[in-house]
Structure 1
Amino acid sequence: MTSRIPGFYKLPPNERLKAVAEQVAVGSEEISQVERGLVLDQAEKMVENVIGMFQVPLGIATNFVIDGQEVLIPMATEEPSVIAAASNGARMARGGGGFLTSSTGPVMRAQIQATGIDDPFAARQAILLHKDELMAMANELDPMLVKYGGGVKDIEVYVIDSRLGPMVVTHLIVDCRDAMGANAVNTMAEALAPRIEQITGGRVYLRIISNLADLRLARAKAVFRAEDIGGPEVVDGIILAAELAVVDSYRAATHNKGIMNGVTAVVLATGNDTR
């Protein structure tokens, strides 16, 4: 297949859909699902108090080469120019080989918050002494995840000062494999909470996933040839604009919002959590 479809934006919507279907080799059933979208019965099973659907345009960003593969990118957004800009940027990146990506392991954290502890640093050491036991308890809850190479890989414990006194917060470091991980991670945290209380003599309140996924990172880079983006003067302008975003929060907010225009559009189009 190829993501380079000249004149794609000039086609009527039904012809665009047909062109995409031909490139990715999908059949009439998948095409009808795109045309029909979500139906009320499906929505009723997804969230509470459903009264209808809220539609957002679904488009395709063309011209992407990612890790040597031609890719057509679905994007759902209400804002004009986002899909066009992504397609144009991808076209300009093709001359330098497109985009190269890398990622860390699919690792998430659970937090177990223990409170009301007289000696929090001793409690921290006690939890660490029971680390192997706690990891084994957690992994017994999801043998399928462990079978495929996932599960709890480590435990970290922090003493955190607060206005309401010190808290001992245990982090379960969980390899979630292909899952987002909330269900598995939360189940593990909830199951370990009573044992944490026994070990520390404290009271556990929060026992839940953290969405600060600092161990689950994805990176992408591309090299743009000066001649493909308008010459050396344009390169200088881009670098100076980016530098302003580094040193000025007003520019940074807009700079980052422009990046998130593309990120959230792809996340929404692929049925993921845009938050």
Structure 2
Amino acid sequence: MNHKPIEGFSKLSKQGKIDWLINEYLQGNKEYQNILKQYWNENVELQKLHEEFSENTVSNFYMPYGIAPNFLIDGKLFALPMAVEESSVVAAASKAAKFWIDKGGFKTTIINNEKLGHTHFILNVESHKLLHFFNFSLKKKLLEATEDITSNMRKRGGGILDIKLVDKTSEMPNYYQLKASFDTVDSMGANFINSCLEQFGKTLKQEMTISEEFTQEEKNSLQIVMNILSNFTPDCIVRAEVSCKMEDLKDDSGISPEEFARKFKQAVTIAEIEPFRATTHNKGVMNGVDAVVIATGNDFRATEACAHAYAARDGQYRSLTHCTIDHDVFRFWIDLPISVGVVGGLTNLHPLVKFSLALLGKPSAQELMSILAVSGLAQNFAALRSLVTTGIQKGHMKMHLLNILNQLGATEQEKQHFVTYFKDKTVSHHEVIHEFNRMRGQIN
């Protein structure tokens, strides 16, 4: 079928958008309209609120919202909200929290809280000449020009921390940066940072125009390419860790604490040196992080991009978590670069985000950083614990069992039978199908 482009799609009503989609792409099948409408919220005002979060909205896409209890973090007990669709994530996090609760729980440290942004520009000038201009004139002007923008942030204890001139001409002809660091306190700060950077670009152009240090040819060569924050924040970092004596690692896995610790450390070391393993290893970390990021109304795409860039900061992609065994003390930790906020954006609008932040005790941005790092560490601990003992599939497939049964159209009575049937067995898709067909009388 040859589809036709459409002009003015965004100007159509919601029903108009749906009608066009059904007629143009779905052969006029009204069943698909019903699928969209069944996820509309009956509360008209709430539905309108959700539709205004984004553009061209025709429905809502629901995700399970679960709770992982028993997280002892820096001496305080938390129940973590997690918005995630992947089987076993909430269960694994909860299991890890329970494991560590009587061993001192999780400890966290904010290592730094700086966020970054850049004005990228092209200028055909000798670098020493530009550096002199920056140090003795421009930097002061940049700070003065942004005083109105930063005034409220400065009252809250944040603002522009520093501005540096970065010479990148060895990598790209005539390419320079104004690299600025910021403290945005409890906000993620994207709009604040970008506003400051855009003013930097304007001020740079203005000051170049009136400066007597440059020739007209040099002034004419100035191009402000872009002003934009960076989602790579290697100086906005939090550490979360757990530790205990080796003997306290004993559990019901059937292996000794010493063997468990040795295999666990080997698994982490493999992720530190082998990118193929590190990718899956860190994906598991982010299962925990992203679930809480989404539940608290933050940007999980920025969180992912930053974490993975940090994992490759020395030129090879490596594990975000680390493990040591020293004098019979087992220690497991993560250094996570993460930029989040608890004011602004969805935090004041989305009802479930409000609930999540209230559930967490209305944390500051730094406290939320700590909680997120803990959720990632807990998830990684649970995954590695399974991998080096019973194997990952035993727990994962038990959580996936209901998904398989729902696909087969199993009744509640049949679901209960399968829970009992697999109580002491490893779930496999083939075995579920076989037993389901046997129950339905399709095989002997």
* 1:119-170 deviations in Å (ceiling 9; x for gaps): 2342233223232231232233231111122111211111113775221100
Q: Which residue of 2 aligns with 1:123?
A: 130
**Contact 2:123–2:176 (CA<8 Å) still a contact in 1?**
no
Aligned equivalent of 1:89, options 96, 110, 113: 96
**What does 1:189-268 correspond to in 2, within 5 Å?**
189-200=197-208, 201=219, 202-226=222-246, 227-230=248-251, 231-268=257-294
Aligned counterparts of 1:198 and 1:176: Cα–Cα separation in 2: 27
**Contact 2:119–2:197 (CA<8 Å) still a contact in 1?**
yes
Change (3 A) 1:57 1:116: same
**What does 1:20-31 correspond to in 2, within 5 Å?**
none
Aligned equivalent of 2:176, options 159, 168, 180: 168
- Unpaired runs of 5+ in structure 2? 1-42, 209-218, 252-256, 302-444
1:52 deviates by 0.9
Q: Which residue of 2 aligns with 1:32?
A: none
Aligned counterparts of 2:180 and 2:172: Cα–Cα separation in 1: 24
Change (3 A) 1:94 1:157: same
Tell whether 2:157 aligns with 1:137.
Answer: no
2:126 partner letter = D
* 1:55-97 deviations in Å (ceiling 9; x for gaps): 1101001110001000000011111111111111111111221
Which consecutive segments of 4 or more residues in structure 1 shift more than 4 A? none
Change (3 A) 1:229 1:63: farther
Aligned counterparts of 1:125 and 1:84: Cα–Cα separation in 2: 58
> Taking every aligned residue pair, what percent have the same amino acid on both sides?
31
Aligned equivalent of 1:98, options 92, 101, 105: 105
1:43 deviates by 1.7
**What does 1:173-184 correspond to in 2, within 5 Å?**
173-184=181-192
Aligned counterparts of 2:171 and 2:182: Cα–Cα separation in 1: 30
1:254 deviates by 1.0
Q: State the superposition RMSD in angstroms.
A: 2.0
Query: Larger relative contact order (C-alpha < 8 A, sep ≥ 6)?
Result: 1
Report the count of equivalent residues. Answer: 239
1:64 partner letter = F
**Contact 1:104–1:218 (CA<8 Å) still a contact in 2?**
yes
Aligned equivalent of 2:81, options 56, 74, 91: 74
Aligned counterparts of 2:171 and 2:160: Cα–Cα separation in 1: 31
**Contact 2:121–2:225 (CA<8 Å) still a contact in 1?**
yes
Change (3 A) 1:211 1:238: same
Aligned counterparts of 1:119 and 1:267: Cα–Cα separation in 2: 45
1:224 deviates by 4.1
Q: Which residue of 2 aligns with 1:269?
A: 295
Pick the structure with more strand per residue.
1
Aligned counterparts of 1:162 and 1:47: Cα–Cα separation in 2: 41
1:115 partner letter = I
Q: Which residue of 2 aligns with 1:187?
A: 195
**Contact 1:95–1:224 (CA<8 Å) still a contact in 2?**
no
Aligned counterparts of 2:265 and 2:172: Cα–Cα separation in 1: 46
Q: Which residue of 2 aligns with 1:157?
A: 165
**Contact 2:71–2:80 (CA<8 Å) still a contact in 1?**
yes
2:101 partner letter = R
Q: TM-score, normalised by structure 2?
A: 0.51
Change (3 A) 1:41 1:263: same
Aligned counterparts of 1:139 and 1:180: Cα–Cα separation in 2: 20
